[in-house]
Structure 1
Amino acid sequence: MAYEIYERNATENQVIFAGISGMGRIFAELLANKLKEISPLEVESVEVLVDKMAIVQGNVTLSENIDMENKCLILVDDVLNTGKTLAFALKPFLEIPIKKMELAVLVNRSHKLFPVSPDYTGLELSTTLNEHISVNLSTDNYSVHLH
């Protein structure tokens, strides 16, 4: 995925990865590190702090203030289910004049309830609403499980 991100953003000076709390943040760091390894682009990352259990009532903030004005931003999460989390995660970026925003997900379940479509997808899975996907990127043995 990092190679595809580089191909589409080769003319940019800087790419900022914004990883959603939890595995999204870890996945964003992995993508950022790989992009630094394969390209001359300046790469930064920030965490989007979202309470996934109270997404509507909770505040959505960023872990730190970095200059995003006129820059390419890639919002990253581990699993795209209905699009609700990603739609709410856009909140901190709505008042920033970002040059371009793209979306990267490790797994796309395609249960769209919100108009959110990823630009970069690691794996597309057709699942039922009763099934659950868990992602573990916290150890060296990365895994994705369907329950």
Structure 2
Amino acid sequence: MSEVLNHKQVGQKLTRMAFEIYERNLNSSGVVFAGITGMGMILAKLLAEELRRISPIHVEELEVVLDKSDVAKSEIELSENVDLTNKNIILVDDVLNTGKTLVYAMKPFLDLEIQKMEIAVLVNRSHGLFPLRPDYTGFELSTTFNEHIRVDVSGPQHSVQLH
């Protein structure tokens, strides 16, 4: 196991991502961070906090609840029933592997009249099996399918490790 990003580096990546989100959403009425269950939701909260710190943009958060171990058979729903009409949604997850989880996580938004949807991930492994690319990426990391990335931002010492 080797550390890819330490606590300070993860913080720097999140700050840079928040500035990019601010720049691309200057004229929006607000941004909704939709974090995927687990580390995705924790990252969504961290990005929301950082965006609130650096900008006047109205920020909301909600969770995309799903079972990552069997996303194809999972019930996929939003944690809150909020009006997302004409809002900018940023779907957040920790690691983009094949894209399957993110594709399924978009499902609850398909019937809504949102303004736009973007994707933010802390680590992009570039194993795209689905035709999607993140709009905001903290770190690009080429790995084999046998290697595993572990993101831990749940405690006071954030880290990204390669196994």
* TM value normalised by structure 2: 0.89
Q: Tell me, in whole angstroms, the C-alpha distance in 1 between the residues paired with 2:20 and 2:128.
A: 24
SS in 2 for 1:37: helix
Deviation digits for residues 5-64 of structure 1 (CA, Å, limit 9, x no counterpart): 000000011100000000000000000011111111110000000101111111100111
Letter in 2 for 1:28: A
Q: How many residue pairs end up in the alignment?
A: 147
Give the C-alpha shift of residue 122 in structure 1: 0.1
- Which of the numbers 57, 69, 72 marks the counterpart of 1:53? 69
- Which of the numbers 106, 118, 126 marks the counterpart of 1:102? 118
> In the alignment, does 2:131 pair up with 1:111?
no
SS in 2 for 1:53: helix
Spell out the pairing of 1:1-147 with structure 2 (5 A cutoff).
Answer: 1-147=17-163
Gaps (5+ residues) in structure 1? none
Structure with a larger share of its residues in helix: 2
Deviation digits for residues 61-102 of structure 1 (CA, Å, limit 9, x no counterpart): 011111110011000000000000000000000000110110
Q: Tell me, in whole angstroms, the C-alpha distance in 2 between the residues paired with 1:57 and 1:81.
A: 19
Deviation digits for residues 89-139 of structure 1 (CA, Å, limit 9, x no counterpart): 000000001101100000000001011100000000000000000100111
Larger relative contact order (CA 8 Å, sep ≥ 6) = 2
Give the C-alpha shift of residue 140 in structure 1: 1.0
> Identity over aligned residues, as a percent?
62
RMSD: 0.5
Letter in 2 for 1:58: S
Letter in 2 for 1:29: K
Give the C-alpha shift of residue 142 in structure 1: 0.1
Letter in 2 for 1:141: Q
Gaps (5+ residues) in structure 2? 1-16
Q: Tell me, in whole angstroms, the C-alpha distance in 2 between the residues paired with 1:25 and 1:63.
A: 11
Q: Tell me, in whole angstroms, the C-alpha distance in 2 between the residues paired with 1:14 and 1:44.
A: 8
